[in-house]
Amino acid sequence: MVVDDSVVIRRLVASALDQDSAIEVVGTASNGAIGLQRIPQLNPDVITLDIEMPDMDGLEMLRRVRKDHPSVRVIMLSTLTERGAAKTLEALQLGADDYLAKSSSENSGQSSNSEFRDELCLKVKQFFRFQEPSHLNIAIPQSAAELEYPKVPTKSVGLPASVVAIGTSTGGPTALGAILPNFPASFPLPVLIVQHMPPLFTRLLSERLNSVCALHVEEASQGAVVEPGKVLIAPGDFHMKLVSDHGRISVVLDQSAQENFCRPAVDVLFRSVAEVYGGSALAIVLTGMGQDGLRGAEKLREKGARIIAQDESSSVVWGMPGAVVKSGVADRVLPLDQVVPEVLRISKSA
């Protein structure tokens, strides 16, 4: 079901979804109040939800959907503005499953419409399993036998941990908001994070997390020093790498080609962490669509680093952590609420 007060956007979204044979648009609504009335009638699996609407906005509708229809997936459609990003992060805190920035009316050319359609369909389908691959070629194999990964025989060497590297995507802002505040101010390791998000969103996410965490959280900048007790989040549209100069480790940002259709990419960070920290790294792969982080996790494991993956039941989408688990490189597969206790246990030997 498509909920948006703009007739143009409702038509654009519905038309984009209708072009995928795996998706059926069961109805539309022009505001949150109408949308709530239509949920029992239409029984949607997924709702695309605008934020700014008259009578009842998207945030209020989301609150009621989470209370009365908890199994319905909700994808927020937001604008690429400071206000839109802030509202989107609030929606994710309220339980939205994902979000997508919609193009302005001035940027509605054929190319941008095609990109919007593909990304929207991908985001809707990420919550479901398909027997046959879609034309978007995003189906994730459902059994270990279907996965063809190179064998990674090296086991963790158990070196004292020196850094924590985290990769996440769909559901990540909520997951990070659940675990980072549980780190004490005395936590002795630096924390490096790649969260798939566009520019502006990553800065606002960093600011929001910094306001609720004992550790200092900031969006990474070029040359930022990697220090104990500091959390650095890769900025949107930039890969985050590390460089070591006489023992001083700092951040290098670049806009080289996307990997796994992402920039920042988890694989880029993980490979760099493997080069700089080797077996003393601790990597965590949280909820997210796709397989970004898998190849980087393999590189880390070859160096003897520890790998933790979030379990399926606590993940919004078990794509990224699932790929790591099925490849056999994860040391531990844990529900979200057990990740920090495990990290604290490991870090005691740092």
pLDDT tens readout for residues 56-86: 999 999 999 999 999 999 999 988 788 889 9
Confidence (pLDDT) at 129? 83
Q: Is the pLDDT of residue 141 over 50?
A: no
**Among 267, 292, 311, 331, the one annotated catalytic:** 292
Can you tell me the distance from the alpha carbon of 347 to that of 73, in angstroms, rounded to the nearest whole number? 36
Confidence (pLDDT) at 290? 94
DSSP codes joined into one string, 73-131? EEEEEE-SSHHHHHHHHHHHHHT--EEEEPPPGGG--HHHHHHHHHHHHHHHHTTS--S
Nearest to 220, CA basis, from 289, 269, 277, 175: 269
- Mean pLDDT throughout 317-339? 96
Cβ–Cβ < 8 Å for 181, 212? yes
Can you tell me the distance from the alpha carbon of 65 to that of 86, in angstroms, rounded to the nearest whole number? 20
Confidence (pLDDT) at 156? 63
Nearest to 315, CA basis, from 130, 155, 140: 140
Using pLDDT thresholds of 50, 70 and 90, give the confidence band for residue 157.
low
More confident position, 113 or 43: 43
Phi-psi region of 158 (alpha: psi -120 to 50; beta: other; left: phi over 0): left
308 phi/psi in degrees, rounded to 5: -115, 135
Q: Is the pLDDT of residue 305 over 90?
A: yes
Q: Is the pLDDT of residue 310 over 90?
A: yes
Can you tell me the distance from the alpha carbon of 223 to that of 187, in angstroms, rounded to the nearest whole number? 22
Angle at CA of residue 268, ends 199 and 232, nearest 5°: 55
Confidence (pLDDT) at 349? 59
Confidence (pLDDT) at 146? 40
Confidence (pLDDT) at 131? 63
- Mean pLDDT throughout 328-346? 96
Q: Which helix (H) or strand (E) holds 230?
A: strand 230-233
Can you tell me the distance from the alpha carbon of 179 to that of 174, in angstroms, rounded to the nearest whole number? 9
Using pLDDT thresholds of 50, 70 and 90, give the confidence band for residue 165.
very high
Confidence (pLDDT) at 155? 60
**Among 78, 162, 169, 280, the one annotated catalytic:** 169
Model pTM? Answer: 0.88
In the residue annotation, 280 being an active-site residue is answered as: no
pLDDT in tens, 109-125: 444 678 889 999 999 99
Cβ–Cβ < 8 Å for 1, 38? yes
What percent of the chain stands above pLDDT 90? 82
**Among 196, 206, 311, 314, the one annotated catalytic:** 196
In the residue annotation, 292 being an active-site residue is answered as: yes
What value does the CA radius of gyration of the chain take, rounded to a whole number of Å? 20
pLDDT in tens, 228-287: 999 999 999 999 999 999 889 999 999 999 999 999 999 999 999 999 999 999 999 999
In the residue annotation, 118 being an active-site residue is answered as: no
Pick the CATH number of 156-347 from 1.10.10.10, 3.90.1150.10, 2.60.40.10, 3.40.50.180: 3.40.50.180
Where exactly are the structural domains of the chain? Answer: 2-125, 156-347
**SS3 (DSSP) at 318:** strand
Report the range of poorest mean pLDDT among 128-137, 146-155, 176-185, 250-259.
146-155
Task: Kindly report the average pLDDT of the chain as a whole number.
Answer: 90
**SS3 (DSSP) at 172:** helix
Using pLDDT thresholds of 50, 70 and 90, give the confidence band for residue 145.
very low
Looking at the domain covering 2-125, what would its CATH class be? alpha beta
Q: Which residues of 29-62 are buried (b: 16+ CB within 10 A; e: fewer)?
A: bbbbbbbbebbeeeebebbbbbbbbeebbbbbbb
Report the range of poorest mean pLDDT among 12-16, 152-156, 274-278.
152-156
Q: Is the pLDDT of residue 149 over 90?
A: no
